[in-house]
Amino acid sequence: MVRVKFRYLLGHVRWQTTTKMNSLDISGIYHYLKNSVKLNFGEYAICRLGWTLNVKQYNPLTGLFIVRCSRSQMRQVWLSLTLLDEINSQKCAISIIHSAGTIRSCNLQAIKHTNSSLLVAKSLIQIKNEKEKYQKKKNKKKKNKKKKNKYLPNTQVKKNKSKK
């Protein structure tokens, strides 16, 4: 049957200074988003969006949020998000990572986005430890260096186990 279809946009907020914006809420983002759509595309665009415009999730620690809009107005909402400059008199920048038809696929992409940055933090510690171990092994190998002879046949030094 006829069904209203939506698009869910996954976005990432980036601040100029690293002060913690604990006062920012879902309603705050909705208020600034609506103003930017009004500024760039006019009141007709807001009337066409209507009740479908909504902010579903927002995480102040990582800066990820999910926005819902109707399928025909996705590009206009996208542009109004990129042109958003100030929130609560602080400068910010928004970049959109993924657009999907369901919230579930957006959440899966959010997990991948944070995993890639967590892996780096873990792997850096591992890389440092591995490098130290590798350098220690190299220093030991140089003392007891035995090169293989390419020109001689395979000479196997047999070690016989003496049974008593």
Partner 1 sequence: MFIELDFQDNGKQSNYQAISTLAQLGYDGVVFSRTINDVITKNDICTFKELDLKELDQNENSSFKNLSSLTLMKNEKKQFRQYSRLNIIISSKKNIFLLKKMENILKTYDIVAVFPQSTEIFEKCIELPTIDIISFDLSLKYLIKIKYKQVNKAIINGLFFEIRYSSMFKTKQSQARKNTFSNAINVVKYTKGKNLLIASGANDPINLRGPYDVMNMATFFNIPFNQAKNILTANSESVISHGVMRKTYFGVIKVEDKKKIPKELEESTDEDEDEDKNKEEIEIEKEEMMIEKIKKPIILIQK
The residue ranges that bind partner 1 (CB under 8 A) are 14, 16, 75, 78-79, 82-83, 85-86, 91-93, 95-96, 116-117, 120-121, 123-124, 127, 147, 149-152, 155, 157-158, 160, 162-163
> Which one, 3 or 163, has the nearer CB to partner 1?
163
- Write down the least CB distance from residue 28 to partner 1, Å: 17
| Strand residue runs (E) in the chain | 6-15, 54-59, 64-70, 86-87, 90-100
- Write down the least CB distance from residue 141 to partner 1, Å: 16
> Which one, 43 or 86, has the nearer CB to partner 1?
86
Q: Which residues make beta-bridge pairs with 76?
A: none
Q: What is the 3-state secondary structure (H, E, C) of 1-30?
A: CCCCCEEEEEEEEEECCCCCCCCCCHHHHH
Query: Which of 83, 109, 105, 103 is closest to 94 using CA atoms?
Result: 83
> Which one, 51 or 151, has the nearer CB to partner 1?
151
- Write down the least CB distance from residue 99 to partner 1, Å: 10
> Which one, 52 or 76, has the nearer CB to partner 1?
76
Query: Which of 94, 89, 18, 92 is closest to 55 using CA atoms?
Result: 94
- Write down the least CB distance from residue 78 to partner 1, Å: 5
